[in-house]
């Protein structure tokens, strides 16, 4: 897979989000996971 195909696949795994926003979306998800884990404790 080339760069675009890889990013497109990653984007579709998240429900086809804007590729340019992928790092921000992943970062946000990661932070929310940390917060949710904290809330569940």
Partner 1 sequence: MLTKADLLKPENFALEFFRENDFSRYQCKKCKNWFWSKVEKDVCGDASCVSYEFIGNPTIPGKLTWRKIREKYINFFKSKGHTQLNRYPVVARWKPDTLFTGASIFNFMPWVLNQSTRPPFNPLVVDQPSIRFVDVDNVGLGTGRHCTQFSMMAHHCFNSPEEIYWKEKTVALSYEFFTKVLKMNPDKITYIENLWKGGGNAGPCFEVMSGGNEIATLVFMQYEEIDGKYVPMKMSVVDTGYGLERIAWASQGTPTIYDSIYPKIISFLKKQARVKQYDKKIFEEYCKLSSVMNVEDVDVEKQKKILVKQISKNLNISEEGILEQIYPYHNIYKIADHTKALCFLLGDGIVPSNIQEGYLARLLIRRSINALRNLGIDISLEEIVEKQINEIKDIYPEIENNKKDILKMIESEEKKHLENIKNAKPIVKRIESLVASTGKKTFDKKSFVMLYESHGLDPEIVKEHLVMPSENVSTIDIRKEIRNNLEKEEQQKKKLGDYKKEDPLAFLYGLKPTQKLYYEDEKLFKTKATILKIFDNLVVLDKTLFYPRGGGAEPDSGSIEGAKVLDVENHGDIIIHTLDSTKGLEENQLIEIEVDSDVRDSITRHHTATHIVNAVCRKVLGNHVWQGGTKKDKDKAHLNITHYETPSSQQITKIEKVANEIVKKKLKVIKTSMDRTDAEQKYGFKIYQGGAVPGSKLRIVNIDGWDVEACGGLHKDNTSEIGKIIIRKIEKPHDGVIRFVFSAGKSADLWEAHRKQILKDCAEILKTTNAKVPEGAKKLFEKWKQLRKKLEKHKQKQAEKTAKEIKSEKVGTVDLIVKEVPNASPAQLQQISQKLSTDNTFIVLLGTGEKVNVFCSAGKNVNINSGLIASKICQDLGGKGGGSPVLAQGFGTDKKKIPGMIKKIKTELIV
Residues interacting with partner 1, by CB under 8 A?
Answer: 1, 3-14, 16, 18-20, 22-23, 26-27, 29-30, 32-33, 36-37, 39-40
* Min separation Cβ 24 and partner 1, Å: 9
Residues 16 and 34: their CA atoms lie apart, in Å, by 24
Give the C-alpha distances (Å, rounded to integers) separating 1 from 7, 17, 41. 9, 19, 40
């Amino acid at each position: 897979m080339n760069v675009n195909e890889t990013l497109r696949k990653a984007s579709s795994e998240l429900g086809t989000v804007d590729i340019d926003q992928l790092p921000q979306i992943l970062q946000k998800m990661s932070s929310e996971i940390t917060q949710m884990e904290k809330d569940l404790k």
